[in-house]
Amino acid sequence: MPTSTRLSLAEELYLVLHYDPVTGELLRNGKVNGSEVQALSAAKLVDLIAKGRVAVERTRTVREAVVATEQPIDDAALDEARALLWRQSKDRSITWGLSNLGSSALVVAALQARGLVVDERKPLEPLTPLGAEVLRERRAAIDAAWLGADSDEQALLVAVILFAAKVWRNVYLVRDRSEKDSTVARLTVTTERVSRGGERAKVIARLLAESVAP
């Protein structure tokens, strides 16, 4: 992928959840539901942890608090989440973060600024040709992770977040019960592997436990 179109985890997740990789058209009506809020929140927290702007710490009042630094970051959507956490008057848990950091407006704006979405006044329009190309490339990597094949780290994280947030069926269709069961079994193993150790793992484990999707 060209450097100019390198996506944040939240941007990639949004594209995968909302656009068809073949046609570039919307998969649904573009509204971000409660499950997607949790998925986008998790993606932002994972990126902020990786960039050293958020830590998961035990505080006096919260066992696993998400604590942000005052230092801004050169990504509007991530910085919005960082600033919201930093402004809190009390310690906030991962659960709170998963419910409150999933705003999609600045994620969509970033995709528009990169030239991936057609019209900034109509963020629900189909992707540009570049956007469709980028999405197809990223979906191929995510599909590889989905099937248990080698893939890059970000594709693996997107696959795991889709599964942990229980929104994977928004993206991947399963035809029968046996296919669903085998998919769930495979992704459970992958998610458990990614969720072992570290602050990122705590976010993913909490997402898996807290997801509002059925």
What DSSP assignment string belongs to 122-181?
EEEEEEPHHHHHHHHHHHHHHHHHHTT----HHHHHHHHHHHHTT-GGGT----SHHHHH
Rounded Cα gap, residues 152 and 123, in angstroms: 28
Least confident of 40-49, 59-68, 185-194, 197-206: 185-194
Rounded Cα gap, residues 135 and 145, in angstroms: 15
Contact 17, 167 (CB under 8 A): yes
Average pLDDT on 187-199 reads 75
Residue 200 has pLDDT above 80, yes or no: yes
Residue 2 has pLDDT above 70, yes or no: no
Tokens 């959840």: give the residue: 17
Q: What percent of the chain has pLDDT above 70?
A: 90
Residue 120 has pLDDT above 70, yes or no: no
The beta strands (E) that lie in 33-145 are given as: 54-57, 65-68, 117-119, 122-127
Residue 4 has pLDDT above 60, yes or no: no
Q: In the prediction, which pLDDT does 123 show?
A: 55
Count of helices and strands (H, E) across the chain: 9, 4
Average pLDDT on 31-49 reads 88
- What are the angstrom distances between the C-alpha of 69 and each of 51, 73, 130, 133, 197? 11, 10, 35, 36, 22
CATH of the domain at 103: 1.10.3630.10
Q: What is the mean pLDDT of the chain?
A: 85
| Number of independent structural domains in the chain | 1
| Global confidence as pTM | 0.89
Rounded Cα gap, residues 28 and 3, in angstroms: 29
Averaging pLDDT over each range in 8-17, 112-121, 160-169, which range is the top one? 8-17
Q: In the prediction, which pLDDT does 145 show?
A: 83
Average pLDDT on 31-55 reads 90
Domain limits for position 161: 3-210
Rounded Cα gap, residues 27 and 36, in angstroms: 14
